[in-house]
Amino acid sequence: QVQLVESGGGLVQAGGSLRLSCAASGRTFNNYAMGWFRQAPGKEREFVSGISTSGGRTYYADFVKGRFTISRDNAKNTVYLQMNSLKPEDTAVYYCAADVVLGERVNTAPHKYNYWGQGTQVTVSS
């Protein structure tokens, strides 16, 4: 079992930046690939970014490439999402999720992830 708690969301103007954090409980954090997903009102939850257990592999959705950076600190049981050049269309609830994997695989499908945080709201004004 792992519990995930996101923080760092808020209201920002277009072009601004936010840094999301996701703190995980438990002692096996480095056994989980981690992902960030988002869900806007009336839309399905979508993959934003993922990082492998070691942090050696990262993946991004096309719509955030070059703007968002995922990272993790296994000593602190925390994964981060640095979001720059934010756009109004980035407005959504952002969730972190943990996926029990072998090796360095990173899944992009939400149903592959075993544990989810409660989400943090990100609102980008134009």
27-49 pLDDT, tens digit per residue, is 789 899 999 999 999 999 999 99
For 121, residues 6+ apart whose C-beta sits below 8 A from its C-beta are 9, 10, 92, 93, 94
Q: Give the pLDDT confidence score for residue 103 in this predicted structure.
A: 84
Q: Give the pLDDT confidence score for residue 102 in this predicted structure.
A: 81
pLDDT (tens digit, 0 to 9) for every residue of the chain, 126 residues total?
899 999 999 999 999 999 999 999 977 898 999 999 999 999 999 999 999 999 999 999 999 999 999 999 999 999 999 999 999 999 999 999 999 988 899 999 999 999 999 999 999 999
Q: Is there a contact between 3 and 113 (Cβ–Cβ < 8 Å)?
A: no
Q: Give the pLDDT confidence score for residue 97 in this predicted structure.
A: 98
Q: Give the pLDDT confidence score for residue 59 in this predicted structure.
A: 97
Residue 41, both tokens: 């009102």
Q: Give the pLDDT confidence score for residue 66 in this predicted structure.
A: 97
Q: Which residues pair with 5 in a beta bridge?
A: 23
Q: Give the pLDDT confidence score for residue 68 in this predicted structure.
A: 98
**How far apart are alpha carbons 121 and 98 in whole angstroms?**
19
Give DSSP secondary structure letters for the chain. ---EEEE--EEEETT--EEEEEEE-SS-GGGEEEEEEEE-TTS--EEEEEE-SSS--EEE-GGGTTTEEEEEETTTTEEEEEE-S--GGG-EEEEEEEEE-STT-----GGG--EE---EEEEEE-
